[in-house]
Amino acid sequence: MLTILFDGIAYGMLLFVLASGLAVTLGLMNFINLAHGAFAMAGGYITVVLVNRLGVPFLASLPLAFLASAAIGLVFERTLYVHVYKKPHLDQVLFTIGLVFMSVAAVDYVMGSSRIFIKIPEALEGQIDFFGVGIGRYRLMIIVICGLLTAGLQRVLARTRFGSRLRAAVDDPRAASGLGINVPQVFAFTFAFGCGLAGLGGALSAEILGLDPYFPLKFMIYFLIVVSVGGSSSITGPFLASLLLGIGDVAGKYYVPKLGPFVIYTIMIVILIWRPNGLFGRSAAR
Amino acid sequence: MTAQADVGHHARLHARWHWSEIAFWVLALACAFLFPSRYLIMTDIVRLALFALSLDLILGYAGIVSLGHAAFFGVGAYSAGLLALHGVVTEPVLALIVAGLVAMALGFVTSFLVIRGADLTRLMVTLGIALLLEALAERFSDITGGSDGLQGIEMQPILGLFAFDMFGKVGFCYCLAVLFLLFLLARRIVHSPFGLSLRAIRNNPLRAAAIGIPVNKRLIAIYTLAAFYAGVAGALFTQSTALASLDVFSFERSADLMLVLVIGGAGYLYGGLIGAVVFRMLQEVFATITPQYWQFWIGLVLVVIVLVGRQRLHRWVLWTPNLILRQFGGRKAIVAIPESDAP
């Protein structure tokens, strides 16, 4: 029972790191980015190459995955995404679906279509017995890393100068640029940071969720659930939503394996009907 | 001329049959005789065209963005398959209508969920419904056959007269006939006052409500109707391939459908039909060049379409045909209008 809870929390934390970038682009910048999973996949595959082929230690490769995904995100944002911000939602959906298809085929071409595993260090394998509760070391590490990230993220958004700039740029881009905030720069940086987080999440999740070229398609719905259920007003909403989703999914798979993802989708639809702006969203969100 | 009479005049002018439309359908029928070796792919195009027509009704005319339209396609496909498999309704045309009605019922029920919320919520709910149905179909594998799909479906002759033949000629004619009939119906609907009110809702829901259009009722009605169309398309799929598998619900199917409509252009009825032809041919070309990675090129097409801009692209594509038509048919002869210019 407690083990399920623990696994669920780890899974939820992972989903949060994966989806938090999307929460910013989708929730705050009002841009529907279905290709978010592609950046996570990029991070995952970069880690695979670093660890399995070049022999970089796993823990050292995590920051590299973050940086590489952020760089890729930045390039895409500056060259492609920036033209699509102002377009209608339908265009954004089409554009990002196109990107997903391309990334799936490209990764399939370069890395092959089979599922890939990352060699994780022995210190992270196995379980610790903690008052009779079996706790996976790897999952414990995920919780620690993701917990630190979440706290840091919350702090950056709420306390720092950059955080207030971002919030200002989101609330009213025109007024913000009038105040001398470089809105495109803020957006580009935020987007890149979100992609970096996704890449880090992808690197961490390869062990738990599995990594194959169809990753962006398979988990797209999960990311979207996190954001749409969590609402877009703050970082806490998506965080709680991803914990809920993680625990719900793990428990659902354990107790009623036959129903599969059925539980999650039903909960999502019910919540969205009950509160179309998400559980923790502002009622007057744009 | 008063404003009201003016609007009526223009609406009637647009509703009139144009000779190029007749030419289009004659050409479609001629395909049945011109390419006797290509019935399978042509049937596929016709089915896709009907499916795209369905999405066009809600996306192009009512402005509802849906990522889960395959839900209704799948329900129609499985209904038709189960009806034929268990011998409930053996006559294909009747089974087609029943399957359409089943999808329609689902569309009616889910429309209440879809009309709530903005674009993002709609996307999520439609996508969620399709995924939910896929999970359900997988779960109740004793009914649906699980991942193997429904097998051993035997189709009875259409109307008791025309048996499905090996080469798919009857299947093609049957699909084309269904498409034509439903197209006529859709044409009638979009040119009716009801259709005009839908466009008003698409352009500005708030204003539409202000001039007394019951927005939600209209959206429910068109969503339900579109579900019927998609259900019929799904049923045609099952009937002409004698197969129904889990991939009828897949996300790729919904995404491809979007692409079809975008290639053809949303907001006029021929968009879906032209898009289906172009999409399938593109797919064929890409599949012959790179059998495994055609998805990459499809994705590239999508990205390019969006970056260039859909409206600009349509103007380019329509430029040549319109020029020719103008030469022959006088200045008013425009076969297809890009969505931006549509009234």
Nearest residue, CB atoms, A266 vs list B67, B132, B259: B132
How far is residue A88 from each of residues A91, A103, B274, measured CA to CA in Å? 6, 23, 23
Highest mean pLDDT out of A17-21, A98-102, A123-127, B164-168:
A98-102
Q: What is the mean pLDDT of residues B82-95?
A: 81
Nearest residue, CB atoms, A272 vs list B125, B132, B139: B125
Which A positions 253-282 lie with beta carbon below 8 A of chain B? 258-262, 265-266, 268-269, 272-273, 276-277
Q: Is B38 left (phi over 0), alpha (psi -120 to 50) or beta?
A: alpha
Which residues in chain B are closer than 8 Å to A92, comparing Cβ atoms?
Answer: 306
Q: Which of A80, A94, A249 to mutate to probe the B interface, most B CBs <10 Å? A: A94
Which residues in chain A are closer than 8 Å to B294, comparing Cβ atoms?
Answer: 105
Residues 6+ apart with CB under 8 A from A230: A23, A237, A238, A239, A240, A241, A242, A278, A279, A280, A281
A241 domain residue, yes or no: no
Nearest residue, CB atoms, B306 vs list A84, A104, A221: A84
pLDDT of B115 reads 79
CA distance A224 to chain B (A): 7
Beta-carbon separation of B124 and A224 below 8 A: yes
pLDDT of A284 reads 40
Nearest residue in B to A108, CA atom: B293
Mean pLDDT over the full length of chain A: 80
A270 domain residue, yes or no: no
pLDDT of B282 over the 90 cut = no
A142 domain residue, yes or no: yes
Which residues in chain A are closer than 8 Å to B129, comparing Cβ atoms?
Answer: 269
Beta-carbon separation of A95 and B306 below 8 A: yes
pLDDT of B104 reads 92
**Alpha carbon A223 to chain centroid distance?**
6
pLDDT of B326 reads 65
Beta-carbon separation of A98 and B67 below 8 A: no
pLDDT of A132 reads 64
- CA angle A143-A148-A152, nearest 5°? 150
pLDDT of B340 reads 43
Per-residue pLDDT band for B228 (boundaries 50, 70, 90) equals: very high
- CA angle B339-B342-B343, nearest 5°? 145
Beta-carbon separation of A89 and B67 below 8 A: no
Q: Does A105 touch chain B (CB under 8 A)?
A: yes
Nearest residue in A to B66, CA atom: A90
* Residues in B lying within 8 Å of A, measured between beta carbons: 59, 65, 67, 113, 116-121, 123-125, 127-129, 131-132, 135-136, 138-139, 251-252, 255, 258-259, 262, 292-296, 298-303, 305-307, 310
Which residues in chain B are closer than 8 Å to A99, comparing Cβ atoms?
Answer: 299, 303
A111 domain residue, yes or no: yes
pLDDT of B339 over the 60 cut = no
Share of chain A above pLDDT 90, in %: 1
Per-residue pLDDT band for B102 (boundaries 50, 70, 90) equals: very high
pLDDT of B117 reads 67
CA distance B193 to chain A (A): 26
Beta-carbon separation of B129 and A89 below 8 A: no
| Higher pLDDT among residues A74 and A218, named by residue | A74
Nearest residue in B to A79, CA atom: B307
pLDDT of A237 reads 80
Q: How many domains is chain A built from?
A: 1
Mean pLDDT over the full length of chain B: 80
Beta-carbon separation of A228 and B120 below 8 A: yes
pLDDT of A283 reads 44
CA distance A262 to chain B (A): 6
pLDDT of A286 over the 50 cut = no
How far is residue A106 from each of residues A38, A109, A169, B251, measured CA to CA in Å? 11, 5, 34, 19
CA distance A55 to chain B (A): 30
* Minimum mean pLDDT range among A159-168, B65-74, B163-172, B288-297: B163-172
A28 domain residue, yes or no: yes
| Higher pLDDT among residues B162 and A9, named by residue | A9
The answer to whether the beta carbons of residues B244 and B263 sit under 8 Å apart is no
| pTM of the full structure | 0.81
DSSP assignment of B100-164 equals HHHHHHHHHHHHHHHTSS-HHHHHHHHHHHHHHHHHHHHH-HHHH-GGG-B----PPPBTTTB--
pLDDT of A112 over the 90 cut = no
pLDDT of B335 over the 60 cut = no
CA distance A236 to chain B (A): 20
pLDDT of B333 over the 80 cut = no
Which A positions 202-221 lie with beta carbon below 8 A of chain B? 217, 221
Whole-angstrom distance, CA of residue A22 vs CA of residue A228 = 10
pLDDT of B83 over the 60 cut = yes
Beta-carbon separation of A217 and B251 below 8 A: yes
CB neighbour class for A124 (10 Å; exposed up to 12, middle 13-18, buried from 19): middle
Per-residue pLDDT band for A42 (boundaries 50, 70, 90) equals: confident
pLDDT of A279 over the 90 cut = no
Domain carrying residue A19: 2-217
- A116 DSSP assignment: B
Per-residue pLDDT band for B103 (boundaries 50, 70, 90) equals: very high
Per-residue pLDDT band for B231 (boundaries 50, 70, 90) equals: very high
- CA B103, B106, B112, B113 torsion-angle sign: negative
pLDDT of B166 reads 65
pLDDT of A233 reads 63
Per-residue pLDDT band for B227 (boundaries 50, 70, 90) equals: very high
A224 domain residue, yes or no: no
pLDDT of B343 over the 60 cut = no
Q: What is the mean pLDDT of residues A36-53?
A: 86
Nearest residue in A to B59, CA atom: A90
Beta-carbon separation of B306 and A97 below 8 A: no
ipTM of the complex: 0.74
Which residues in chain B are closer than 8 Å to A80, comparing Cβ atoms?
Answer: 303, 307
DSSP assignment of A34-48 equals TTHHHHHHHHHHHHH
Q: Point out which residues pair with A116 in neighbouring strands.
A: A211
